[in-house]
Structure 1
Amino acid sequence: MPTLIHRAERAPASTPPEWAGVGACALPVAAGSATGLLECHALVLTSTGPLHADVDFTSHLAGPGTLLWLRPGQAVRFDPGDPPADTAAVVFRPGLFGPEELPGLFPDDPDGPARTPLALDDPAAFRAAMDHLAADATGPPGRVAAALLRHQLAALLLRIRLLDGTGHDPGNVESRTFERFRRRLEEGYPASRRVEDYAAELGCSVRTLTRASLAVAGRTAKQVVDDRVALQARRLLAATGLSVAEVGRTLGFAEPTNFGRFFHRETGLSPGHFRAGFADRPGGVPGPRPPAD
C-alpha cells in the first residue's frame, strides 16, 4: 500500500514499541481530533460509556462492555462524549502473527472477527487482561518480555474469535475462491481495477470469480473491486493532506477527471464536495453511500 500522509492527532503511546510490536494506550486516535488513518491494529474496550466511534464512515455507539477491533488503514474518529468514556486500548503492529499461527484466525485479515462492535459477556475479565498487558508493556524490553506480550495478545485475539465466529464457510468452494480474491485485491487494488487481472492471477474465469462474489458478498466481482477503491479514496480524502489529483494517482487514475467521474459514480459526490464536509466538520462523517442499482 502506498505511504499515507497522516494528519490525525495521535494519543500518547498510540503506536506499539518496536521491540515488542504490542502496546497499550487510552485510544489509538485522540478523542475529538480530526479523522485519522490507523497505522496499527487496536482493540478498544469501553468500561464506561458511551463512546461514539466513526469507523470507515460508519458511526458506532459503544456502550459499557463493548469491544471494537480497529484495523490498520481504517479512517477513525472518536467522540469522547460528556462525560468522557473510560476506555482501554491494546495496539499491535500488522504482521505480528502469520496466517497459520493462530488457529482459525489471521489477525491481518480485514474481514476477520469483531468487524462491528462486540458486546462482551465478561468485560471485566477482558479489561483485567488488557490492563495486565499494558503493565507488562511498560517493563524492561527484551526477548522474554516480547514473547510474553505476544502470548497475552494471542489469548485476547483467540477469545474474540470464540466470541464472534462469523465468517465464510471455509469448506465452501465459492467462499474459498472469494477469500483468495479479496486478499489479492487488498494488495492489488492500487495497480489494477480489472477483474480479468485478478481472475488470471487466481487461475479462474471471470464468470467463476463473479459467481463466487455474488454468492458470498452479494456483489459482482467488479463491484467488489470498485467498492474497495472507493473506500480507499474516501479514506485518503478524509484523513490526509493529499490533493485530489494525488489521491487519484495513488489509486491508479492517470487523469484527475477520470478519478472524479469514478468517485462521483460510486459515492454520489465529487471528491471536492466529499472533502469539504470534513473541512466544515472536522472528523465528521458524510451520509452513507446509496445502494447500487
Structure 2
Amino acid sequence: MNQIVPPAETTRTGRTGFVPDFELYGEETDFPDVLHCELLKDRAPAHGWRITPHRHGRLHQFFLIMAGDGRCHLDGETYELRQGSVLNVPAGAVHSFSFEPGIKGYVLTIPVFELADAQERLPLGSSALAGFFKANADRSIVDMFRAVHSEFTGHRQLRAPMLRAMSRQIACVVARLAPTEAGPAPGAGSDARIQRFELLVRNEDTRGWRVSDYAREVGLSPNHLIRLCRAHFGVSPQRFIEDVGFREARRMLAYTRMSIAEVGFSVGFEDPSYFSRAFRKRTGVTPKAYRESLAS
C-alpha cells in the first residue's frame, strides 16, 4: 500500500514538517545551474551509501545504474535496482535510496522549467514522465548520460544551450520507456494557466512586467493568480518572479564573463548599485563576492 504523504508547509530553510525538501540532496542553497549531473559515488559515500527520505519540489531526476545493486524507496513502495536500470523520479515524489557500496552510475537533476520551450512543456506535461518508473537502459542511454556529464563538467562554449538540448533528448528517450501504468506524480496535472505564467516569467521579453501584467496575459485576476501561485509554488507571484531573476543572475555570474552591471540589467535592474544591494539582501553576499567564491 502506498504511504500517504500529507501536504506540508515549506519554510525558507527548504525543510518541511515531514520530509526535507532539498534542491540537491543535503543542500539548502538555491539550485545554481541549468541542470546538475554527478556520479553516484560523488555524494552517496559521504552518507554511508544511504540517502534518507526527501523530495525535490521543482526538480525532476533521472538515475542510471551502471554497475552494482541497490534499492529505491518511493512514496512507501520499494524497488530493486540492478545494473542497467534507469529511473524516472518526478518532482515532488518522496524517495530514498540504499546503495551497495561502490555502486556506479549517474544522477541527472533538471529544474522542471528547463524542460519547457516557448510553446509548451516538453515533455513533463505529458503523462509519460508524470509518475515514477524503472526501466531497462540500453547502450544509447548510457552514452547520453556520459555525454551530458562530460558537457556539464567541461565548461565549454555554448554550455547552457547544449545542456538544455541534451536534457530534452534524455527526457524524451526515457519517456519512451515509460510503462502505460506509470502513476501520477505528486502535484501532477498543474493548471495550464500557472504553466503559462511560469513560461512568461522565464521569457526575457517580459522583464519588467508587473504581477497584473502577467495575470492579464494568462486570463486571471491578480488575486486569482496569487492564490494559484501560492498553491503551486508556495510563494506569491512577486516572490516567484524575483526568485527567477536572481537565479538567472547567479547563473550569469557563474558561467559568463558579463560585467555585474550587465548581469543586473539582463534581469531587470537598470541601476547596478540597486542590483548589488538587492542581490546581497537575497544571497548574503555581493555579486562580486559570489563570483569570486565560485572562481576560488
TM-score normalised to the size of structure 2? Answer: 0.49
Greater relative CO (CA pairs within 8 A, separation 6+): 1
